[in-house]
Amino acid sequence: MASAAGSLAIDLDAKRGVRLREGAVVASLFTCALISILTSAGIVIVLFWEAAGFFKSVSLWEFLFGTRWTPLLEPRSYGVLPLVCGTLLVVAGACVIAIPTGLACAIYMSQYASDRTRRIVKPVLEVLAGIPTVVYGYFALTYVTPLLQQVYPDTLVYNAASAGIVVGIMILPMIASFCDDALRAVPESLRLGALALGATRFEVTVQVLIPAALSGIIASFVLAISRCIGETMAVAVAAGGTPNLTLNPAESIQTMTGYIVQVSMGDTPHGTLGYYTIFAVGALLFLMTLGTNLIADRVLHRFRETYE
Amino acid sequence: MVTVKVTETTSAAAVTQPSPSASPPILAAQDLTIRYGEKPAVVSVNVAIPENRITAIIGPSGCGKSTLLRAFNRMNDYIPEARIDGGVTYRGRDLYAENVDPVEVRRRIGMVFQKPNPFPKSIAKNISWGPAINGFRGDERLLVEEALKKAVLWDEVKDRLNESANALSGGQQQRLCIARALAMEPDVILMDEPCSALDPVSTARIEDLMYELKHLYTIVIVTHNMQQAARVSDFTAFLDAGRLVEFGETEQVFTTPKDKRTEDYVAGRFG
């Protein structure tokens, strides 16, 4: 018996080959992860380094609170507010279009649409998200603006409204899709419980499901806003290139991203103060999108209703 | 042996109950067949639920008892592939007639689910929400208090009515869900295994509560727990493979079942 037990002894020893292979896999995966982190960190460092160079010549105060942005023309002035205002105008326009429509779309898809309708609508929305943004820009310029000019003849060829509208169309699929997911994540038992109390589907949706999914819904809004702030091509094409401290959406404006495109594409010589402005604007843009993303993250975790 | 034990627990609940014919049926299924796709879940069931009594629906898992229960307030409407043949009447009215609004049906025939499902709102709002959307214009505080007292939850929560219902224990949440259903002043309360997610102490409290409530409401309870059916119900329906095998006074079903399958099931020989 003892010898039989010996011959059947189970080999539990670690195999050298297996261990080496596993080690190599872990090392290469770690390297890939490290590269993406280092790249991001590098970009941020360069951004702030170059921006710091800009702030040696221009005070932070003048940059943040100045109301004229003419870094490339005499008399030069470095107040970023017109660009921030232009960006926010586009963001506001996009939100007015996309938030109600996107939420309504999500409610329809998650609560009312039959499975068949949903199978058609959702991919169509995703196609909308896949259209290159420059196409939206020309759509704004050649289709939306003429339409706006018919309604309101004083609309300029380049204007904030058309840019806001197309950016709104652009972020609509994102809001619809995220809100749809958030509404679907609410436990079915909650929905049935409300229906069993004699609530209509609309009452259930508005009064039970939306409050229960609120964290996801708000997070989707904030992420969409972040996307609007960073959106470049559509606004560069449609909104114009005139830094303009205005709240009138019919006027031509310039957004922060639009300005960066203009300088990057243009003939501003490297090393000049005008050239360094794009890093200052870029750093501010980065901080704004980072801020909104952090808010979205906080909202998602802080207000999440927990279900078993 | 088992049958004897069940008899003892039954006698307390069933001691003063009249025969089924004494009270007119409030809900009745006529030749009711429900299919999910091609698969029948309930087959040709005829059953009459007596008013102001507790009727238990028992049977092995997957026998169609929950499906039958949901047919009584049209909750099967939300299962896309469910198809219904035959009829269900509530006080003589066909619940599946063309012009019947399922929302109106559910205002009168409430439901308590297997897992407590309070809304992510305050305790008070959980109670007042149903009546509010249905046009309640009275004193909300009184409504909340009455419903919570009926569900024997008032003393435990009266000082924290504005706190989230999610902070309550499982048993308290389930009593809140019962209170929520009661606040609608329904005619009938359907309970789908209301204690299956609860500990024995909470279960006992819910059972006591059902006993209190049956003077005011008709209760239909689905349970996989035969002792529970024997303890709380006046009438018992035994379902097997979607068919109604036996229906009668609980004491009779548990002590002198007419069908061999019922006998085997209540004796714990299958299911």
Could you report the per-residue pLDDT of B184-195, keeping only the tens digit for each? 999 999 999 999
* pLDDT at residue A108 greater than cutoff 50: yes
* B216–chain A nearest CA distance, Å: 18
Q: Which domain holds residue B55?
A: 2-266
Report if residue B180 sits inside a domain: yes
Residues A89 and A21 in one domain: no
Minimum Cα–Cα distance from B184: chain A residue: A197
Residues A146 and A285 in one domain: yes
Domain of B167, CATH number, reads 3.40.50.300
Report if residue A74 sits inside a domain: yes
pLDDT in tens, A271-297: 888 889 999 999 999 999 999 999 988
* pLDDT at residue B204 greater than cutoff 50: yes
**Rounded average pLDDT over B208-219:** 90
Contact between B117 and A197 using a beta-carbon 8 Å cutoff: no
Report if residue A93 sits inside a domain: yes
Residues A29 and A76 in one domain: no
Q: What is the pLDDT of residue B22?
A: 53
Residues A37 and A96 in one domain: no
Work out whether strand A69-70 and strand B188-192 pair parallel, antiparallel, or are unpaired. Answer: unpaired
pLDDT category at A305 given cuts 50, 70, 90 is low
* pLDDT at residue B7 greater than cutoff 50: no
Average pLDDT, rounded, for chain B: 88
DSSP per position, chain A: -HHHHHHT----PPPHHHHHHHHHHHHHHHHHHHHHHHHHHHHHHHHHHHHHHHHHHS-HHHHHH-S-EETTSSSPEE--HHHHHHHHHHHHHHHHHHHHHHHHHHHIIIIIS-HHHHHHHHHHHHHHHHS-HHHHHHHIIIIIHHHHHHHSTT--SS-HHHHHHHHHHHHHHHHHHHHHHHHHHS-HHHHHHHHTTT--HHHHIIIIIHHHTHHHHHHHHHHHHHHHHH--HHHHHHT-S-------TTS----HHHHHHHHHHS-PPTTSHHHHHHHHHHHHHHHHHHHHHHHHHHHHHHSPPP--
Determine the Cα–Cα distance for residues B141 and B92; give it in Å rounded to an integer.
Answer: 35
pLDDT category at B23 given cuts 50, 70, 90 is low
Report if residue A64 sits inside a domain: no
Contact between B75 and A305 using a beta-carbon 8 Å cutoff: no
Domain stop point among A5, A31, A57 = A57
Largest alpha-carbon pair distance within chain B? 55
Q: How many domains does chain B have?
A: 1
The A residues from 48 to 87 touching B (CB cutoff 8 Å) are none
Residues A113 and A75 in one domain: yes
Report if residue B271 sits inside a domain: no
Q: What is the pLDDT of residue A7?
A: 60
The A residues from 179 to 238 touching B (CB cutoff 8 Å) are 187, 189-190, 192-200, 203, 207-208, 211-212
Q: What is the pLDDT of residue B176?
A: 95
* pLDDT at residue A164 greater than cutoff 70: yes
Contact between B117 and A306 using a beta-carbon 8 Å cutoff: no
Q: Which domain holds residue A23?
A: 16-57
Contact between A193 and B184 using a beta-carbon 8 Å cutoff: no
Q: How many CB atoms lie within 10 A of CB A265?
A: 9
Residues A210 and A281 in one domain: yes
Q: How many domains does chain A have?
A: 2
Q: What is the pLDDT of residue B14?
A: 38
Report if residue B45 sits inside a domain: yes
- Which of B104, B119, B166 is nearest residue A194 as measured by Cβ atoms? B119
Give the CA-trace dihedral at B118, B119, B120, B125, to 10 degrees.
-100
**Rounded average pLDDT over A131-145:** 92
- Which of B78, B104, B180 is nearest residue A197 as measured by Cβ atoms? B180
Greatest mean pLDDT range, A297-301, B17-21, B218-222: B218-222
Chain B residues with CB inside 8 Å of A194's CB?
119, 129
* pLDDT at residue B16 greater than cutoff 50: no
Residues A37 and A154 in one domain: no
Lowest mean pLDDT across A4-18, A81-95, B207-221: A4-18
Domain of A216, CATH number, reads 1.10.3720.10
Residues A163 and A30 in one domain: no
Chain B residues with CB inside 8 Å of A112's CB?
none
- Planar angle of CA A187, B173, B190, nearest 5 degrees: 80
Domain stop point among A27, A57, A87 = A57
Contact between B133 and A199 using a beta-carbon 8 Å cutoff: yes
Residues A24 and A121 in one domain: no
Report if residue A3 sits inside a domain: no
Residues A89 and A31 in one domain: no
Minimum Cα–Cα distance from B118: chain A residue: A190
**Rounded average pLDDT over A72-100:** 92
* pLDDT at residue B140 greater than cutoff 80: yes
Residue B85 tokens, joined: 């043949």
pLDDT category at A306 given cuts 50, 70, 90 is low
Whether omega before A75 lies within 30 degrees of 0, making that bond cis, reads yes
pLDDT category at A224 given cuts 50, 70, 90 is very high
Report if residue B69 sits inside a domain: yes
